Amino acid sequence: MKNKIIIGFTALLMFGSMLLPSSCVDDFRAGDDFLEKQPGVDVNQDTVFSRAEYARYFLWDTYLYMYHPFKNSTSLTMNSNIFETLSDCWHSVLGWDDQARVYYPGVYNAGNESGWIQGRFSYLDSQVWPAVRSAWIFIENIDKVPDMDGAEKERLKAEAKIIIASRYFDLMRHVGSLPIINHAYTADEVFETPRATIEETVNFIISLLDEAVATSSLPWSIPDREIETWFGRLTKGAALGLKAKVLLFAASPIFNDTQAYTDEAPQTAVELKQVWYGGKKQELWEQCRQACDAFFAENARNGDYYQLVQSTAQNEAGYMAAYRKAYWTRGNSEKIFSTILSYRLEEWDQTIGNVSHTGAMAPTVEFMEMFPWADGRNFDATAIYNTDNPGDVDIFKGRDPRLYETLLVQKEGFIWQGAPTEMWPGGKSTSAWFWGSGFTAHGLALYKWILDYWHIGDEPVQWPYLRMAEVHLIYAEALAETGDLPKALVEVNKVRNRVGLPNIETANPSLGLTTNKEALIKEILRERACELGMEDTRLHDMVRRKLASDFTKPLHGIRILRKDGKEEEQGSGPYPKFKYEKYEITNYARAWWTPGFWTNKWFLSAMPVTEINKDYGLTQNPGW
């Protein structure tokens, strides 16, 4: 597959304007510069929408504005790192990213949102507003195209609406409500659209998705015969799935609780219900559950096209392969909504390849501990850490197969860069040039997406914005919140069973998961962290569930030491026995860990002061 040329939708996204006929290229440029005149050419929107071919490429270019976490290698949001390293699963020791410059020392402020050093998801520079404008231009002009039939026009409009909805959701998760932009502003219009309420923002997103779902020419999925060419195009399945994902966030306590998330000044956004609903609305959880019901019902009517990728062999290797295929591989039944940045990942891509060498995404012990034992029991090594490990317990043997696909750990027989993994001091793996530069800053390393670097580009890549496993877990959480714990467990277990784990309530009877809603929701969040690790889930879960204690707890690393005291390669000797030293991370320690420093203002980012000062109605979030 390495030698396969780029074809289909990926090529259209990457080289849209290059693929236009030369006469068209002479007339206009697609994307940001689509209205930029070429020398001696009078260009306007009528030119763009004068032919179906031109109009399609305009929409394909609009797709390029969609969210992809590794895109910040060009936008430089967080200076090449990702916001997941603000969660408890990852801690950066890169040093020159915005984690180290403003977040970990606790000096982030509203002024950062308008400057070179920005927030975790820039209000201005995350390509949200160019996407919205481009999509509205398309929607408002596509009917002018003379050589395109009505069904295709409606389908393409629906795709553009899903793009707008997704981009609103991307930003809403970080700042709360937004101004409702319901058309493309002209140069003569004065922008006077104030910030909406959170309810209005959510309703706007949902209305766009509902309109897309109601479009008869929008297919439920990309047919198998077309997947090679059109993987990545938006569908009715993507719209319904995203609806459930949006409602999960809207129903969560960050916006939906008896009190606003903080009482810090200024309180204008609270008073105007821009960062909460003004109270707790149980009906939001019902709406989320109903959205999931609708998704699964429609999926059933379409032959259950979307399904979890299942293992072809009922063993650890088979489960690991199924999991990798589920998150990585293009064009399978698991992918509902995918975004595409490039055809393949490469080791020297700034994000995620390059910066991971030097500790940008160093895993924590807290994350490793979330993965259960292979028999389904929750992991607990409290009695083993910082002892001589008299029972010779191998804490990395017989674990959840997803652990081995997500993190590089000291697993016996696991091949990394062509040799068995040896992560102890003096072990063979430590000879890699980047080993001491932060890659294993806390005794563990990232594996998901980069693998061993040698195989990062073996097959095409995409970003799983929404896959089937997440929909099952969204459904589980909504079911738990609406009182159906038995059915919620069924949904959780579908995800666990795919990697060979037994039912969670059977493996952990002491948790009382069949009757204890709070305990079950806690396990669903842990399951989401394991299944969706490094898929932009954990930080959002910590925010929407207002998990302040997980933001303020000090995080830990681990030292893996041979019990025989040797610091050398295994060679022909027997596999060593180990002891494990768990320690508190002090390198780039987070100010949030200092008692009394944290306040709940940190759940949401600040609004840019430059935009507030334009006086069109944007308000500042509490605490900023």
What is the mean pLDDT of the segment spanning 133-144? 98
Which sign, positive or negative, has the C-alpha torsion 416, 419, 421, 424?
negative
Identify which of 453, 477, 565 has the alpha carbon closest to the alpha carbon of residue 527. Answer: 477
d(CA 616, CA 132): 18
**553, amino acid identity:** K
Coil, strand, or helix at residue 271? helix
Is the per-residue pLDDT at 15 higher than 70?
Answer: no
Tokens linked to 349: 């891509």
**567, amino acid identity:** E
Coil, strand, or helix at residue 344? coil
Which sign, positive or negative, has the C-alpha torsion 64, 70, 72, 77?
positive
Torsion of CA 400, 404, 407, 412, to 10 degrees: 110
First to last CA, the chain: 50
Maximum C-alpha span of the chain: 82
Is the per-residue pLDDT at 42 higher than 70?
Answer: no
Output the pLDDT for position 44. Answer: 73
Are 340 and 463 a contacting pair, CB within 8 Å? yes
Q: What does pLDDT average to over the chain? A: 92
Output the pLDDT for position 79. Answer: 87
Is the per-residue pLDDT at 240 higher than 50?
Answer: yes
Collect all residues with Cβ–Cβ distance below 8 Å to 153 and sequence separation of at least 6.
142, 143, 145
Length of the chain: 624
Q: HSE on the CB side for 571, CA within 13 Å?
A: 6
Tokens linked to 622: 């509490």
Q: Where are the domains of the chain?
A: 45-66+122-215, 219-341+461-546
d(CA 448, CA 327): 9
Identify which of 330, 334, 326 has the alpha carbon closest to the alpha carbon of residue 305. Answer: 334
Chain CA centroid to CA 435, Å? 27
Identify which of 480, 506, 483 has the alpha carbon closest to the alpha carbon of residue 493. Answer: 506
What is the mean pLDDT of the segment spanning 542-550? 99
Output the pLDDT for position 12. Answer: 47
Coil, strand, or helix at residue 608? coil
List, for residues 387-442, the tens digit of each pLDDT value: 999 999 999 999 999 999 999 999 999 999 999 999 999 999 999 999 989 999 99
Is the domain covering 219-341+461-546 a CATH 3.30.930.10 domain? no
**Per-residue 3-state assignment (H helix, E strand, C coil) for 417-443:** CCEECCCCCCCHHHHCCCHHHCCCCCC
pLDDT tier for residue 347 given thresholds of 50, 70 and 90: confident
Task: Identify whether 352 is preceded by a cis peptide bond (ω within 30 of 0).
Answer: yes
Tokens linked to 380: 């607990």
Output the pLDDT for position 70. Answer: 85
The secondary structure element, H or E, covering residue 145 is: none
Phi, psi of 338 (to 5 degrees): -125, 145
Whether 45-66+122-215 and 219-341+461-546 share one fold: the answer is yes
What is the mean pLDDT of the segment spanning 472-484? 99
Is the domain covering 45-66+122-215 a CATH 1.25.40.890 domain? yes
Tokens linked to 236: 């009715």
Collect all residues with Cβ–Cβ distance below 8 Å to 508 and sequence separation of at least 6.
376, 377, 378, 523
Coil, strand, or helix at residue 113? helix
Output the pLDDT for position 8. Answer: 53
Phi, psi of 286 (to 5 degrees): -65, -40
Output the pLDDT for position 75. Answer: 52
**608, amino acid identity:** P
pTM for the predicted model, two decimal places: 0.94
Is the per-residue pLDDT at 10 higher than 70?
Answer: no
What is the mean pLDDT of the segment spanning 291-313? 99
Helix extents (H) in 142-220: 150-175, 198-213
